[in-house]
Amino acid sequence: MDSALAGIRVIELGQDIAGGYCGKLLAGYGAEVITVEAPGGGGRVRREGPFANEAAPGETGAMHLYLDTGKQSITLDVESVTGTTLLARLLEHADALVVDGPHLWLDDLGLDYESRREQFPKLVTTLVSTFGQSGPYADYSSTNLTAFAAGGQMAMTGEPDREPLKNGGYQSEYQAGLNAFTATLAGLWAADDTGDGDEIDIAAMEVMAATLEASLNTYCYLQLSALGKRRGNIMSSVIGLYPCEDGYLGVHAMPRNWPALARLIGGDEMANDERFQSQAARLQNEDELRATLYAWAGETTKREAYAQAGKLRAPVAYVHDMQDLYDSPQLAARDYFDTLEHPLAGTLRYPGAPAGMSETPWESKRAPLLGEHNAAVYKGLLGLTDADLAVLRGEGVI
């Protein structure tokens, strides 16, 4: 079958999570993505464990195996004179360039905006960062944690009487990378249409500030400050997380879901209980309802409650841990995981397509070894010879 991005070539520069995730998605949907790695050991994503093979950590860390699926890897010291020249030659063959690196890095490499426009008029460059390419913080240092704080999502996460909390993994970097992906596609579409490339500035801070549910928008309009406070795990009795025998249950009921939820937690008796009949009554008897939910959850197991909720169409799910994901009958029935074999990491199960496409499906391939595609790219694409490669290797350029 055809793939959505067949014929698109992307150069990825920076070897970090946001750019890496953007490149992973482009590769999964069929683009030829060449990740440019630092000679010697690559970048940050190759250093994060756990490692599938302790003898080859740089090739078998979970972060690299996951983020680099389907890519080609070349090594190149882009900051050397020869390296910069080779990078520019690569860009002649590229449709898009994704950069996740220091502010003004491309300018420092002699590839500022004007010279890119001139040399590669059709190239789409996506620059992904925490603060963006302009504004007073453009040069400031940041990480996933500090970006999460700056973007406004952290202030809303955690318990009201404790410090604000980062959520799991690397969500500000992933959000930036996901948005870089969608924006790059829009850029490619436009460039194909008009022959004109572009440069796209994606700032994690803005991406997050634009998605603060009802808080920022309501504040913009009404200067209303009641929304968006840290409220922990219980937003209201019927929107919250409750401990059960072997885990945690998440309830999220809108007014029209009350009858189904009531039947789940207390049968017809609960459904007919006048204390909870209307939204207003539930609000009035909030404490009792909360107590009822705690008591109900405490006496059930996560799978039992979830199956029963599904039958009754009550909005209750359970907190899936990593094992629950692999055990999920739903994910198994949909064949969600991609089983990939890697010469040094062995066979592992990878989370699969973020979206299914009927005519141009996602296809996952294993992550490349460091510099695995040096010969294919430098010789095949740029026409260098074995002798050239030997010199470059000797000089530490590749």
Partner 1 sequence: MKLPLEGIRIADLTAVWAGPYATRLLGDLGAEVIKVESPQHPDLLRALGFQPAGTPNAWNRAAYFNHNNRNKFGCALDLASDAGRETFLKLVPKCDIVIENFRADVLDTLRLGYEELKKVREDIILISMPGHGKDGPERDYVAYGTNVEQLAGLVSLSGYLDGPPQKSGISYGDPVAGTIAAGAAIMGLMARKRTGKGQYIELSQREGLTSLIGEQVLGYDISGQIPERLGNRHPFYAPHGCYPAAGDDRWITIACRDDDEFQVLCTLIDRPDLAIDDRFATSPARHANQDALDREISVWTRQHDREEIFELLAQNGVPAAPVWNYADLYSNEHLRARGFFEQVWHRDAGTWEMEHPVYRFTERPARIRMNAPAFAEHNDYVFRDLIGLSAEEVAQLEEAGVTARIPNMSSHQ
Q: How far is CA 157 from CA 162, 233, 253, in A?
A: 10, 9, 20
Q: Which is nearer to partner 1, 14 or 151 (CB)?
A: 151
Is residue 42 part of the contact set for partner 1 (CB under 8 A)?
A: no
Nearest-CA neighbor of 69 among 308, 357, 348? 348
Burial (CB < 10 A; 0-12, 13-18, 19+), residue 380, is exposed
Among 81, 104, 145, 376, binds partner 1 (CB under 8 A): 145
Give the separation between CA 199 and CA 190, rounded to whole angstroms. Answer: 12
Give the separation between CA 72 and CA 32, rounded to whole angstroms. Answer: 8
Q: Which is nearer to partner 1, 143 or 272 (CB)?
A: 143
Within positions 237 to 276, which residues make up the interface with partner 1, using CB under 8 A? Answer: 239, 241, 243, 248, 250, 252, 254-257, 260
Count Cβ neighbours within 10 Å for each residue of 304-320 and write b for 16 or more, e otherwise.
ebbeebeebebbbebeb
Q: Min. distance of Cβ 229 from partner 1 in angstroms?
A: 8
Among 34, 207, 244, 297, binds partner 1 (CB under 8 A): 207
Within positions 285 to 314, which residues make up the interface with partner 1, using CB under 8 A? Answer: 306, 309-310, 313-314
Q: Min. distance of Cβ 16 from partner 1 in angstroms?
A: 11
Within positions 149 to 188, which residues make up the interface with partner 1, using CB under 8 A? Answer: 149-159, 162-171, 174-175, 178-179, 181-183, 185-188
Q: Which is nearer to partner 1, 37 or 338 (CB)?
A: 338
Q: Min. distance of Cβ 387 from partner 1 in angstroms?
A: 38
Within positions 104 to 143, which residues make up the interface with partner 1, using CB under 8 A? Answer: 113, 131-132, 134-137, 139-143
The H or E element containing residue 34 is strand 32-37
Q: How far is CA 195 from CA 4, 5, 115, 120, 211, in A?
A: 20, 17, 17, 11, 33
Q: Which stretch binds partner 1 (CB under 8 A): 209-217, 268-276, 291-299, 387-395?
A: 209-217
Among 40, 41, 50, 298, binds partner 1 (CB under 8 A): 50
